[in-house]
Each structure stands twice: as structure tokens, then as C-alpha cells.
Structure 1
């Protein structure tokens, strides 16, 4: 496809107090070989100088400077809303990634050639070690979300285009037409599972979700919320149960029962055996709040 015929693409990056990592991510996008990128940083009231850094070093970037932390889902949704009407696609990602220079072009060329595709995901490697895969597309097993290729070395089995149940919001290209039809991330989730839930809504509206192995990026792990494992486990457990309730394609009664009766207890027992009681408690609290129909912030329900 001729460069001049490529449509404008939005890039949405959510940030909270990761100034130096955000800088590396923005430098990575500055090196992207694409004629019309419209980058939006949605900053959750960072106090580490992130907003000042963006204004000073990246004048081409549109900054949404929020006065308080909104959570990932809402901050990303506000950024999507700011750019969706002026672009044909939006690449939604995080502040802890590096991307290949040809990544956006490859994603857009595939989406342009396949109008039935609503979401296109990348081949994602760990930042360290850079030869290990983090995700080659997502699927559900026993009600739990998993990544193809996790911790594996790259190879032929991960080098084929694959239709997926979901692709991770660490980095995926969203068709603006699909977003206008189904909406953005579910803000009630705050953190975690919002990416899979959006993919499922787009699939249920008639579009395909596809993993494209030629589009590459690298992900730094254990940043921001992932450092607080009990709270991360709370959100991921609670939100995944809400997702299973909402989407029959992945949440049939037997599957939900397997997740509650096998997956969650196995994880809790493992954490107890390792002496990580707080992690097990995070899972239990996630189950409890799902049963109570609760969404929202962890801190709204627990004071520890």
C-alpha cells in the first residue's frame, strides 16, 4: 500500500507515574514509519513530572492531563473518544512498551485488506529477555484468560495469522467504526480484563479479532499496579468473573463453575503454600465482590 494512501491513526497511551518509561515509549513511536500518527497521552494525575516531560519533550503529542487518577479503563476511554472521530483506526497501548518501526503500517495494511476485522493484535515479546514471547494472541481455558506463546521462544507456530478470542490491550489496533458501534472500555472495571471484554463486544457485533505475527512490540512487565500483587489479583479475579457473566461465548455455566471451583482455589492454595496470604486474600475478595455485584475501586471497599 502506498504511504500516501494510508489513513490517519490515533495512538492512545495511558500513564501514571512512569515518566522515564513513558519517554522511552514515546521515542519508540517517534521512530515509527507511518505518515499520520496522532498520539494522545492520557495521564492519571502523575506526580513524577510525566506531564511536564510530555509538554517539554514531545510537543507533537496531545496530552490529556487529568486532575485525579481515573483508572486505566476510563483514562483510555477518554483518550479514545478524543481521537476516534478523526481517525480510521486507533492503536491503544500502555506506557511500558517499545514498538517496531513498521508495526503500525503492518497492522493498518492488514486491517485495510480485511474490513471484517475489528481488532488486530501484535506479537508481543518481553522487554527482558527480548527473545521470549509475552503474547501471541489470547484465549480462554476453564474460564481463565491465557496468552498463546507465553514465555516461549518465537517459532513457526507463533508466526501464523490467527483468529483469537481476544488480544491484549498492551497493544492492539481498533477499528474506529467498531468503537463507534460498541463503545469504549467498560470504565467500571478500573483495571484488568477491560481489553478482553472490549474484544468480546466487538466480536459479538460481527467483527473478527486477529493476531498478526509480523507486527512486533516489546513489553516491560511488573510496572505500576502489577507491583501490588494482591490488588492486581483482586481486580483480575473480580473483573474476569463479571466478564464471564456478561459474555456467554466464554462464560457458559460449566466454564464459570470450573473457574470458580478449580482455577481460583488452585491459585489460592498455591499462594497459601508459598506463604503469600495477601495474594490469596486478593482472589477471595475479588470473588466476594463479584458475588455482591460490585465494580469500582479496590480502595472503595477495603481500607488496608
Structure 2
């Protein structure tokens, strides 16, 4: 790690029993920024062999919480004590494209009210993952939850995911995928970081919501590109992640409709999510 100029960004990578992908992440990080980068690995698992090896060879700091804090909790732990103006919270199953972090940082400097910034997330086949979305309304949330897999082109999913391209100017979004997120530390600390009651999933939706309410912009920056392999840490145990996803979705949507007179909304959402969870668990068990 170069020390010729001050470090402006801390990259927090949250892992759980990582494999070879962590090495690829650390290697690609070296070619994505022209300035020095502080890398912090937060290992939520029990076996830290891979994380320790990568930390030693790539001059990173390893944080071992001693318990699985979840993604948002791990992100908070890695960000704790930072004095850099910028933070990145990212999955380990990413490959940074050259110059991508520079592009995100440049966009952040050009947009002083940008509290979070996200790159174009590319799947391994080169297609674009919809990482910059609108905040889900009740209609969109329920429609997307019920029909996204059976009818991918349904109007609720299209509205929720919004139109995205891997080229063009930076634009505002309701929220950005936590798989790779550049955060202005001032904004992140102002809203209290990630809400750790979301163990996995929807912590990024909730953060984007709270940043927007606090007057910050969530900015999608397609000039920055990152390849996302996806799901490497939990591919062998999908049932646990399916259940975690539905619990977090229910928590987020019911919190958006908290009043006593909105109990029919909460009840409908709860029933719909339970039915969808059972369907996905049956499919995963086949």
C-alpha cells in the first residue's frame, strides 16, 4: 500500500467463509484506484484462514467480530473508527474493473450531496444487474414479490427496478445495491450507519431510504463498472438465505406502514411473503 499521499477511502469487505473470490477482489482493488486505499476485511465466519492470508499479502486489516453480525453489522464494524472522507462497503465476490473506484470518487466530488454512489454491476455473462432501484411502494413491492419470477416483465417489477443502462450520465436512484456501495462518511454517520436489525438483505434499501429522508442523494454511476459473481458465500445453503430475505422484506415493508389503521396492509404483506417463501423453499429443496 502506498503512503505517498493521504488515504481518502476505506474499503470494507464483509466475508463469511470466503474462497478464491476474496483474492480476486483484493487483486482487482489494486488497479481500480490511482491513490492509496485502506482495505479492511470483516470476517463473520469461524474459519479465518483465507481472510488472514489475504490480509497479510495485500496489507489489509482483518476484523474478527467473534460472531456473525450479518452484512450491515459487518459493514458498521469495518467502518468504525474511520477518518477517511469516503467508505466502500462491498461483497467479496466482486471484480473491480480498472479505474472504477476512481470514477465513483470523482462522481462523489462532483456531486456534494451524494451520500451513496453505486457502480454498474455486471453479471459474469456481461449482462447488467439492476442495482439502482426505486424505493418499493406497497403496490410495487407486492407485485414484484408475487410475479417477478413467474412474469419477469410485469409492470411492478419494471417500475421497481427502473430503467438502467451501463452507459450514460450519473442519475439519482431510490436506493443502491449494497453489493458495492461508496458512502460519504459524513452522510453514513449522520444516519447512524446500517440498521443492524436487518441481518441480511434490505439493509441497503433501508439505508438508501434514510439517506434520502436526510436530504442526501443515492447516485448511480454507470461509468464505474464492477463484475459481480454473486452468492458465493451462501450458494450451498440457499434455504437460510431465502428465509432471511423474506424476513427482511417483511420488516422493511411493515415499518413503512406502521400506523394502527394500516394493519390490513401489514397482514396482507405478511401472508404474501410467507406464501412466497414456502414456494421458494420447496423449489430450492428439489
Which of 72, 92, 96 pairs up with 1:95?
Answer: 92
Q: Give ranges in structure 2 of 5+ residues lacking alignment.
A: 149-156
Q: Deviations over 1:61-80 (max 9, x none)?
A: 11112333332222211101
Distance 2:269 2:192 in 1: 27
Which of 199, 205, 211 pairs up with 2:208?
Answer: 199
CA contact (8 A) 2:238 2:284 kept: no
- Structure 2 equivalent of residue 62 of structure 1: 61
Distance 1:116 1:248 in 2: 28
1:134 aligns with 2:129: yes
Q: Which has the higher contact order (CA 8 A, sep 6+)?
A: 2
CA contact (8 A) 2:128 2:166 kept: no
Change (3 A) 1:188 1:37: same
Q: Deviations over 1:97-147 (max 9, x none)?
A: 0111211111111111111111111100112x1x11122412322355898
**How far apart are residue 167 of structure 1 and its match?**
0.5
- Structure 2 equivalent of residue 35 of structure 1: 35
Distance 1:262 1:158 in 2: 36
Which of 255, 271, 283 pairs up with 1:276?
Answer: 283
Distance 1:126 1:197 in 2: 24
1:171 aligns with 2:180: yes
Aligned length: 264
CA contact (8 A) 1:111 1:120 kept: yes
**How far apart are residue 245 of structure 1 and its match?**
2.9
Which of 179, 185, 197 pairs up with 1:188?
Answer: 197
CA contact (8 A) 2:132 2:164 kept: no
Change (3 A) 1:123 1:74: same
Distance 2:170 2:29 in 1: 24
CA contact (8 A) 2:246 2:277 kept: no
Which of 109, 116, 119 pairs up with 1:119?
Answer: 116
**How far apart are residue 160 of structure 1 and its match?**
4.3
Distance 1:187 1:32 in 2: 29
Change (3 A) 1:25 1:234: same
Q: With the length of structure 1 as denominator, give the TM-score of the two structures.
A: 0.75
SS of the counterpart of 2:17? coil
Change (3 A) 1:93 1:269: closer
Q: Deviations over 1:40-99 (max 9, x none)?
A: 1111244161233124311x211112333332222211101132xx11111110110011
- Structure 1 equivalent of residue 51 of structure 2: 51
CA contact (8 A) 1:136 1:213 kept: no
SS of the counterpart of 1:159? coil
CA contact (8 A) 2:195 2:203 kept: yes
SS of the counterpart of 2:219? strand
CA contact (8 A) 2:246 2:273 kept: no
- Structure 1 equivalent of residue 222 of structure 2: 213
Distance 2:119 2:285 in 1: 34
Distance 2:65 2:47 in 1: 11
Distance 2:183 2:129 in 1: 20
